[in-house]
Amino acid sequence: MQRSASSRAGVFCGKDLSRALMRPLGQLPSCPSHKTLGPTPPARLAGLAALSYSVAGGGGAGTMNPKIKTGRWIGMLCASIAGIAAVLPPRAYAEDFDTEHIFGFMIGSDVGNVGEREFQSQTTGRFAKDGGRYRTLNQEVELELVPAPNFRVELGTSFSAYDIGRVPGLDDRRQLSWQSVSVDFRYRFLNREAAPFGMTVALETRADRVDETTAAAVRSYGTELTVAFDREVIPNFLIAALNLSYEPEWTRTPRTGAADQDATIGAAFGLMARVRPDILIGGEARYFRKYEGIGLDELSGQALFIGPTAYFQLSERSRLTATWSVQAWGQRAGSNAALDLVNFERHQARLVYGLNF
């Protein structure tokens, strides 16, 4: 295959890159009962890495446009994940997609098989506000049960650590608190193996003792309704997911007696590709609009988050998902700023570990 000078120097031209990405991934399934993929060719991983880096604006000469600096870091992270995947030893226990856990901030339509029990640890970090120092870490432990076909129940509790200093509009705090308890119900209405796409409705209700943004003592109750869709774009290789959500919340501050209501609506899109039998990489884009009042009375702000996600099947019973998102665009009501750092954070990250028992 002939390559351009830039390709020979290490950067794929568009024609060469498209050819590299179209090569088969190892041993493709030869019959319905054989669905395990073999080792991924290094050329394919190199193509994925080059694509993520070049699209993000890397590899060019001269001064980089500031608007794509964040994109370059995302591309570099995706390339690093692809490089790690290239050197890890292959495993042969990954088969069909199980979208229940492969995404970070999103959910898929799968809910597990009847009788499954799972322990999950979910660590979420949120960093940077409009000035000062803002760091929060939330640790949630959950127990997931599948008592009936297409139906899943999840019980959870969480603790949070806050480090807030000199942030406009927030009191300085450094504390560790028991945060909340929650219950999550999911029911799958459509199975993508028998329908054009999968569809699941999730309803999560939680009670908080501490405000998740300010760390103030409150009595807060929230419900998040999510409708999740997913579909395999390329069988056993590439899967896409869409989430639509509505989250009303009621908050009362015992110290002052003040009561408040707000709501957040969101739409999220994710893509995950299998680069090894036990490794998936991709990304998520999430858009949120926050309102005063549960009836979406008045817009407070909006934000778009974009970032990479990686999923690792550690063993037949354990898994790990890592994701990071940056606020790429946002706007607070009444402000012309390019970001909304009052209602949302600049960075969000999540690490999820699950164990089936």
Contact between 303 and 272 under an 8 Å Cβ cutoff? The reply is no
Tokens of 24: 């088969």
The pLDDT assigned to 35 comes to 38
Residue 45 has pLDDT above 90, yes or no: no
Tokens of 310: 């990686």
Residue 130 has pLDDT above 50, yes or no: yes
Q: What is the mean pLDDT of residues 123-147?
A: 97
The pLDDT assigned to 255 comes to 87
The pLDDT assigned to 72 comes to 55
Q: What is the mean pLDDT of residues 6-22?
A: 39
Distance set, CA 212 to CA 9, 56, 172, 188, 262 (Å): 49, 32, 14, 30, 14
The pLDDT assigned to 76 comes to 53
The pLDDT assigned to 97 comes to 82
Residue 18 has pLDDT above 90, yes or no: no
pTM of the predicted protein model: 0.76
Distance set, CA 125 to CA 78, 320, 323, 341 (Å): 20, 16, 10, 15
The pLDDT assigned to 96 comes to 73
- The larger pLDDT score, comparing residue 25 to residue 152, is at 152
Q: What is the mean pLDDT of residues 37-55?
A: 41
Distance CA 51, CA 46 (A): 8
Residue 4 has pLDDT above 60, yes or no: no
Q: What is the mean pLDDT of residues 16-43?
A: 40
Q: How confident is the model at residue 95 (pLDDT cuts 50, 70, 90)?
A: low
234: CB partners within 8 A, 6+ apart: none
The pLDDT assigned to 58 comes to 45
Distance CA 126, CA 305 (A): 12
What is the crossing angle of helices 14-21 and 42-55, to 10°? 130
Q: What is the mean pLDDT of residues 162-187?
A: 97
Tokens of 159: 């603790």
The pLDDT assigned to 147 comes to 98
Taking only the tens place, the pLDDT of each residue in 187-217 is: 999 999 999 999 999 999 999 999 999 999 9
Residue 85 has pLDDT above 60, yes or no: no
